[in-house]
Amino acid sequence: MEGERPLDDELQRLREERLRKLEERLTGTPGGVIEVADGTFQTILQEHRALVVDVWAEWCGPCRMVAPVVEDLARDFAGRVTFGKCNVDENPRIASSFSITAIPTLLFFANGMLVDRVVGALPREAVKARVMRAFGTG
């Protein structure tokens, strides 16, 4: 039937869009940054020996300044250090368990242990230096 072709195309487009979003959720957001949530945190901590978690909120201006730095460093350290984002408004248990009182906060975990913390929007090179110091990478 002639009228079915646009519907088929639309269904295919919707399938592709859902698949892309699902893949993004499973593999992380663009830039190699993974989503960290209350329910997945312990698993992510066990799976990634070197992990930096950016604790942020949508309404936080300085958090928006740190986001591109985190995404950039995720690419630079790909395969050596994993970077994640945790929305504090959606994941209060993580914020509470690490006594986060200001955002953005970067939490550095080596082998499941918190080894460093950065509060505030630091420049890219300062964050990179902290990553290198925390994990002994270059």
Write out the catalytic residue numbers.
60, 63
Residues in the chain: 138
Burial (CB count <10 Å: 0-12, 13-18, 19+), residue 36: buried
Query: What tokens does 20 get?
Result: 């892309």
C-alpha to C-alpha distance for 128 and 12, rounded to whole angstroms: 42
Query: Can you say whether the dihedral through the CA atoms of 88, 96, 49, 40 is positive or negative?
Result: negative
